[in-house]
Amino acid sequence: MSNPRQPNSNEPTTHFGFQDVPESQKAEKVAQVFHSVAARYDIMNDVLSGGMHRLWKRFTIELSGVRRGNKVLDIAGGTGDLARKFSSLVGPEGEVVLADINASMLKVGRDRLLDKGVANNISFVQADAEKLPFPDNHFDVVTIAFGLRNVTHKEDALRSMLRVLKPGGRLLVLEFSKPSNPLLSKFYDAYSFKFMPLAGKLITDDADSYRYLAESIRMHPDQDTLKAMMSDAGFERVTFHNMTGGIVALHRGIKP
Amino acid sequence: MFTQFAFASAESAVNRLLKLDSTAHARLAPLTGKVIAIACTAPAITVYLIPLEDGIQLAQQWHAPVDCRLTAPTTLLLKLLSSADKTSILHHPDVALDGNSALLMALAEILQSLELDWEYEVSRWLGPVPTALLSGHLRSRRDWLVQSAHSLHLDATDYLAEESRALVGRTEADMRFTEIDQLKLDLDRLDARIARLLKRNQKPL
């Protein structure tokens, strides 16, 4: 009898950073990375981005068009930065769902939000972005910030997000992307492959996780490719906004 | 991103100020979730204000319907913020107001009537005794400045009107204005009488 955890030689592979791994193993490997960094995720975000991640998320909120009474799904919500703001924007008559596939990240996010008194209109769901456990046409806005690159089958995840959105609903994908300036690109490469693992080693004693972070960013589709993927999944009026010279891009698509 | 940083800093400052007034959040509660756009024509910039339970969100853009939009140049916006008579400024030809104006008036009223408990904030850093000494000193300085300014105003008025005779005194000016008003009325009556006489003369006998 074959072991289901043993990789099958015929199984399709996918990338995990710069490595090729069987598809069935990627989710587990990503989970290990996030279990490892969950406790210091916020500190590392601030250190590595110089606080810029707060401005990128702020721009995402501005473009979301979230109103009082809306239903919002924040996938890969991590420590709940977006969910917290959405919770106060939708008010008590609205609903926010913070979903993350990783139990450690979800626990950190839940504890952090509860400590800040965010509880009345928010729920926490451990869910896979490729198979979202929500009814069709349910949410007004779906966001995924710095999560899509860790998903094994991105096309399946985008279709799943389209399914749970109401017609006219908006998907916002905030993700690392490709710098538009070659000079910035060189600096960014040096920063990613030298400074990030070093900072990871010093702060979380885990250089490998931050090496994976840098590698996974390089393997993620660039702005135009992701835009095409969203259009192929069925989104309309897909646009993207580059931020910080294209290091991060915010894609937005509307469900027809 | 620089604009985002500026907005984030301004929002943080506004919310820190609101926290210094213990009643501000309760007064903002009826406005929660409403979107107020303030569009400045010169320089061209729009600020979206969204009152929330924990403060006010400032945004450079907001992709949701706006409940109230005020369009005006900077000078009039500043006047609106500081003036007690807001209605007269809103009727200015350069000011355009769309949507629910009561929201804007309510927000301006709340911001204008903030009573900041700065002593609480200072006492967190210095302790209660130094804060009490500092606030007592600052209060006496402020009272002295107010009294001095009032006294200077009275003295200057008195000197200009009575001693140097550079300006006319208020009582004297009021009397002159009354005489001018009376003269204007008399002239109007005379005009009306002449017009009536001319009209009568033009009639065929």
Q: Nearest Cβ partner of B1 from A64, A89, A244?
A: A244
Q: Nearest Cβ partner of A89 from B1, B52, B65?
A: B52
Q: Nearest Cβ partner of A58 from B4, B32, B33?
A: B4
Q: Is A58 helix (H, G, I), strand (E, B) or coil?
A: helix
> How far apart are the C-alpha atoms of B97 and B66, rounded to whole Å?
12
Q: Is B101 helix (H, G, I), strand (E, B) or coil?
A: helix
Amino acid at A210: Y
Assess contact for A171 and A139: CB atoms under 8 A. no
Q: Is A160 helix (H, G, I), strand (E, B) or coil?
A: helix
> Tens place of pLDDT for every residue, chain B, 205 residues?
778 888 889 988 888 888 888 888 888 888 888 899 998 887 888 899 998 888 898 988 888 888 999 898 888 888 887 777 777 778 888 888 888 888 888 888 888 888 877 888 888 888 888 888 898 899 999 999 999 999 999 999 888 888 888 888 778 889 999 999 999 999 999 999 999 999 988 866 5
What is the total residue count of chain A? 256
Split at pLDDT 50, 70, 90, the class of A2 is very low
Residues A69-90, mean pLDDT to the nearest whole number: 89
pTM over 0.80: no
Q: Which residues contact A168 (CB under 8 A, 6 or more apart)?
A: A254, A255
Contact A243/B at CB under 8 A: yes
Q: Do A62 and B8 touch (CB under 8 A)?
A: no
The pLDDT value given to residue A5? 47
Cα A114 to chain centroid distance, Å, stands at: 21
Assess contact for A61 and A130: CB atoms under 8 A. no
Amino acid at A236: E
User: How many CB atoms sit inside 10 A of residue B36's CB?
Assistant: 24
CA dihedral B194, B200, B202, B204 (to 10 degrees): -170
In the predicted structure, residue A8 carries a pLDDT above the cut 70: no
The pLDDT value given to residue A95? 93
In the predicted structure, residue A128 carries a pLDDT above the cut 70: yes
The pLDDT value given to residue B113? 80
Minimal CA separation from A16 to chain B, in Å: 31
Contact A59/B at CB under 8 A: yes
Mean pLDDT over the full length of chain A = 84
Residue B104 burial (CB < 10 Å; 0-12/13-18/19+)? buried
The pLDDT value given to residue A235? 93
What percent of chain A has pLDDT above 70?
A: 85
Residues A195-202, mean pLDDT to the nearest whole number: 78
Split at pLDDT 50, 70, 90, the class of A70 is very high
Per-residue pLDDT tens for A29-65? 666 766 666 667 777 777 777 788 888 999 999 899 8
Residues A82-108, mean pLDDT to the nearest whole number: 89
Q: Which residues contact A224 (CB under 8 A, 6 or more apart)?
A: none
The pLDDT value given to residue B148? 96
Give the pair of three-digit tokens for residue A163.
């399914």
Q: Do A65 and B50 touch (CB under 8 A)?
A: no
> How far apart are the C-alpha atoms of B55 and B152, rounded to whole Å?
41
Q: Do A89 and B50 touch (CB under 8 A)?
A: yes
Assess contact for A129 and A75: CB atoms under 8 A. yes
Residue B55: closest CA among B81, B104, B19, B109: B19
